[in-house]
Chains A and B, each alone.
Chain A
Amino acid sequence: MDQLDRLESQSVAVFREAYREFKQLGMLWSIGKDSTVLLWLARKAFFGHVPFPLIHIDTAYKIPAMITYRNQVALEWGLQLIVGQNQTALATKQTFPDGAIDRIACCKALKTNALNGTLDGTWPRWKLDHASGELVPDSKPTPFTGVIVGARADEEGSRSKERTFSPRGQHHDWDIADQPPEFWNHYKTDFKPGTHVRIHPLLDWTELNIWEYIQRESIPIIDLYFTPPGGTQRYRSLGCYPCTQAVESNAQTVDQIVTELRTGKFAHIAERSGRAQDKEDGGLETLRREGYM
């Protein structure tokens, strides 16, 4: 077994443990490369099936091609899709692009708060109707007790200290100084009512591993990651367009991306260097303590 085989097997075991232990299980799906690998691993774990809904938090500032791609894949693969959004903040223009608040507060409003309200079923949310191909209101929004998330330890400091099964309190808070022990292949799967768990099957994967796996398995992926013919830029990481910069690159294929990460210009540049919210003081750790993915 090579490194990718091991990572795949470990992640599959985590998926199966999550499915066994949590009756109300969902998986965050951001359309990006990590989510794409996550979805593929779910199909590996369950032999082609995805036996739980995918949850997408639509900030309304996502690159439009992402939303089109999302619906297309969900319809094609017969996936259950749930969509959540902070409609109040959008309607009252309390966002960073509106100039009302800073980047961190915007992430908290459009992503963290929307995620928390969607997960515990207290906010309105929508689901994809496969007959019409449209989003319809979710009339019975039940709370999720387990949520699969594609966070990787190599992304940034607070994620490097995550647990595979990471408990969240009643207010979605993460008690980072007192995480449960987790050893061998035994995770914390017993929880007080009212709390929920973030499950991280990709913690041990690096950005390079993600692309090597996409390459090996020939996994379909959104083309925002590739520099178009004649172009000079592509996205290395997908997020909201006001806060995510494209990078200068000639990579037009998965093979070229792998080479670029392994030995080329990005071998020594951090992936999230294009994400502006990380640069503000305490950025991601502060967000993640409150429930950010």
Chain B
Amino acid sequence: MHPALQAVLTIVIGVGGCVGYFYFSNQFLDKVMFRASGPNAGRNISRANMIRPWLFLFPALAALSVYLAYPVIETLRLSLTERLPGNESRFVGLQNYQNMFNEPKFWEAMRNNMMWLLIVPAFSTMFGLLAAQLSDRVRWGNLAKSLIFMPMAISFVGAAVIWKLVYDARPIDQDQIGVMNAIYLFFGGTEPQNWLTIPGWNNIFLMAVLVWIQTGFAMVILSAALRGIPEETVEAAIVDGANPFQVFFKIKVPQIMGTIVVVWTTITIVVLKVFDIVFAMTNGQWETQVLANYMYDKLFRANDWGIGSASAMIIMLLVSPILVWNVYNARKEMQ
């Protein structure tokens, strides 16, 4: 069957199935199981209303359990077992973790990930704050915002191609086609550099790609927060003789600290999962490995499910403080 036809059919079956499920299950509940008439009408209605939420929730809960909750547990199990021939597996305790910790490549990925965690959220938030503050003060601010925001729509792979062109290097006797080298030579560099192969620095150049993408996100959120600041506080500060920088750093920033933290943590999550950029640009060569790509390597190239799952658990472990914090905040907010 032609894929396009299959897609249309899937939409019809999927959407129709969902609507049908919700409609008929409600009908069944009201008309067959607990009829809202006869001697027990009152009791039946309240019973039906106890069950109905679960009818509404069932498809979502089923999908969430199968596609997110079950994998967490299964990955934990896989990380503690060893695969044997013939679809068998054997419990090996922490052996996989031990093996992983003995691999220098893992520690390289850890070290790089930590650098990503420090640098990308910091710079994205900083540039985002700067762009938000600047664009709120000029008439063409909205245009500026949508142009800085634009990279959000570009895939990591597309961004990788865009930045590979920026970092491109040609031999010294030819015209440079990468902007970085053109600028570098213009300002007195002697040799064109292969930016992505210089250990240490190449990580920074990869991070620049993500900063470029995430700045727009930070800007949008922070700009809304800046606009939410009560005018009086700013006016009072100006009357008291504060200069624009003082107003920004001493009045505005403290008031949006909560939002800054939210932006920071959201970008942190993106960073922990960063895969496509490294996969497409260096594939972890030249000491640019990161955890998500290390895991992909282990799972699908080395076919080592034990260590692959163990490294996935490490990512989960790094995410969990944020997870706990988010849940805590959400619960606090609901009360």
Do A and B come together as binding partners?
A: no
